[in-house]
Amino acid sequence: MKVVIIGPAYPLRGGLATYNERLARAFQAAGDEVRLVTFSLQYPDFLFPGQTQFSTEAGPVDLDIEVSLNSVNPFTWWQVGRKLRTEKPDVVIFRFWLPFMGPALGTVARLVRGNGHTRVVAITDNVIPHEKRPGDGPLTRYFLSACDGFVTMSRSVLGDLQRLGFGQKPALYRPHPLYDNFGPIKTKSDALNALNLPNTTSYLLFFGFIRAYKGLDIMLAAFADERIAALPIKLIIAGEFYEPAAPYEELIKRYQLEERIIRATDFIPNEKVVDYFCAADLIVQPYKNATQSGVSQIAYHFERPMLVTDVGGLAELIPNGVVGYVVPPTAAAIADAVVDFYAQKREPAFTAGVREQKKQFSWEVMVAALKEVAR
């Protein structure tokens, strides 16, 4: 089968690029011919909240990546769409995560489908964005209406598709596969040494781009709980701020957490991900809203217990009391769980639960779902 994946890939960085490249390798392993088409410009600079959109690491040598799509230049949409219409791949897979991308991706999809052969399938991370803006609905519908079918990574997004009026199109839910491309598991002591952190303290990890919906403010409030303050634990904040850092710094000052916070608030390169996860006892995701999270799938790969809030699709992948905790998105509930984790010495049992649960999250299952929807 000839497959084209359209979405972020090298030289762009971040979780979407990592996912798409790993998916391409899964198609290769299945014997398919696959190419990635990525953005020459993903976001205009004034819309991008981070430091840079581009990776400083060496590019993958085992993947065919075409850098040709400009999100704000319709000429490139037509170029890419017409080229693919002529090439007639069997399936084009779009990664859709933001209404802003609707015009570019929707136009390419319409042009490709014009050949009467290619099937257009979307992996829809979100169809209702975390941070809503005027015009989201029409932009999203423009893209969704150009697709033949969908694969979602949370049941909540599957329900959103139905509520938006696309329930008549083929759609499957399959959980986010493991992020198994960050290297093998390290011992905790080796990871701490790599980060120059003492092993006399225990660590929680908040990982990923920092945005309001991810609830770092709730986590900081939980960390101010006097029961947690009495424990020898620190919170590692590992990820780039995608919004002003000042409100969080004010909370750290207000709660007197300066000595209990480890900041790593630049972009975390792929080769360092293993160290942050393997150094931590518990991975915390105190989100205020969510659909699914790649952070959970990194934690599963590195066999780390998790604490997530009961919002969106997060709880679908985290059996409460088996691999960690599912709690309400409140500081008190998070603090209760952290205290229980250490007081009851839950880490060995939760780690064993993670090791068993991770077996279900395979890339082969995701490839099979995309092919099924395409058929």
DSSP for 121-136, written as a single string: EEEES-SS-SS--TTH
Domain boundary among 111, 143, 173: 173
Alpha-carbon distance of 3 to 90, in angstroms, equals 6
Judgement on whether residues 164 and 130 belong to the same structural domain of the protein: yes
Which stretches in the chain have pLDDT values below 50?
none
Q: Is residue 15 part of a domain?
A: yes
Query: Is 316 inside any structural domain?
Result: yes
Q: Are 144 and 236 within one domain?
A: no
Handedness of CA 299, 95, 238, 179 (dihedral sign): positive
Total domains in the fold of the chain: 2
Asked which of 120, 140, 173 is the last residue of a domain, the reply is 173
The amino acid occupying position 296 is: S
3-state secondary structure of 333: helix
Say yes or no: 160 and 199 in one domain: no
Residue 271 near residue 183 (C-beta atoms within 8 A): yes
The answer to whether residue 183 is domain-embedded is: no
Contact 154, 312 (CB under 8 A): yes
Give tens-digit pLDDT for 102-153: 999 999 999 999 999 999 999 998 888 766 777 888 999 999 999 999 999 9
Residues 116 and 147 placed together within one structural domain of the fold:
yes
Q: Are 255 and 228 in contact (CB under 8 A)?
A: no
Q: Which of 37, 123, 138 is nearest to 82 (CA)?
A: 37
CATH number at residue 303: 3.40.50.2000
Torsion region of 279: left, alpha or beta (phi above 0 gives left; psi -120 to 50 gives alpha): alpha
Type of residue at 113 = R
Q: Which residues pair with 272 in a beta bridge?
A: none
> What is the spatial distance between Cα 353 and Cα 363, in angstroms, rounded to a whole number?
20
Which of 224, 185, 198, 193 has the alpha carbon at shortest distance from 303? 185
Tell which of 147, 173, 199 closes a domain: 173
Residue 90: domain span: 2-173
DSSP 203-237: EEEEES-B-GGG-HHHHHHHHTSHHHHTSSEEEEE
Please indicate, yes or no, whether residues 321 and 220 belong to a single structural domain of this protein.
yes
- Would residue 140 count as lying in a domain? yes
Whether residue 198 is found in the same domain as residue 275? yes
pLDDT computed for residue 55 by the predictor:
72
47 plus 137 within the same structural domain: yes
Q: Is residue 100 one of the residues assigned to a domain?
A: yes
Q: Which residues of 302-328 are buried (b: 16+ CB within 10 A; e: fewer)?
A: bbbbbbbbebbbbbbbbeeebbbbbbe
> Any residues with CB less than 8 A from the CB of 196 and at least 6 apart, and which?
none
Q: Which residues pair with 54 in a beta bridge?
A: 12
What does residue 331 show for φ and ψ, rounded to 5 degrees? -60, -40
Q: Is residue 373 part of a domain?
A: no
Q: What is the pLDDT of residue 45?
A: 67
To which residue do tokens 């004010």 refer? Answer: 250
Q: Is residue 182 in a domain?
A: no
Q: For 96, phi and psi rounded to 5 degrees? A: -120, 120
* The token pair that represents 352 in the structure block: 């064993």
Torsion of the alpha carbons at 199, 205, 210 and 216, rounded to the nearest 10: -110
How far is it, in rounded angstroms, from Cα 235 to Cα 309?
Answer: 17
- For tokens 């608030």, what's the residue? 265
Measured in degrees and rounded to the nearest 5, phi and psi for residue 224 equal -80, -10
Residue 371 lies in a domain: no
pLDDT of residue 51: 61
Q: Check which CATH number belongs to the domain holding 118 and give it.
A: 3.40.50.11930
Asked if 237 and 303 sit in the same domain, the reply is yes
Q: What pLDDT score does 132 carry?
A: 73
The runs of H, that is alpha helices, within 60-167 are 74-87, 102-113, 136-144, 155-163
User: Which residue has tokens 């010495």?
Assistant: 345
Instruction: Give the pLDDT score at 110.
Output: 98
**Other beta carbons less than 10 A from residue 200's beta carbon:** 7
Query: Which one, of 102, 103, 110, 109, lies nearest residue 128 by Cα?
Result: 102
Same-domain status, 148 and 244:
no
224 and 127 both lie in a single domain: no
Q: Do 120 and 7 sit in the same domain of this protein? A: yes
* Res 13: pLDDT: 83
Question: Do 153 and 279 reside in the same domain of the chain?
Answer: no
Residue 129's pLDDT is 75
Contact partners, residue 46, CB within 8 Å, separation at least 6: none
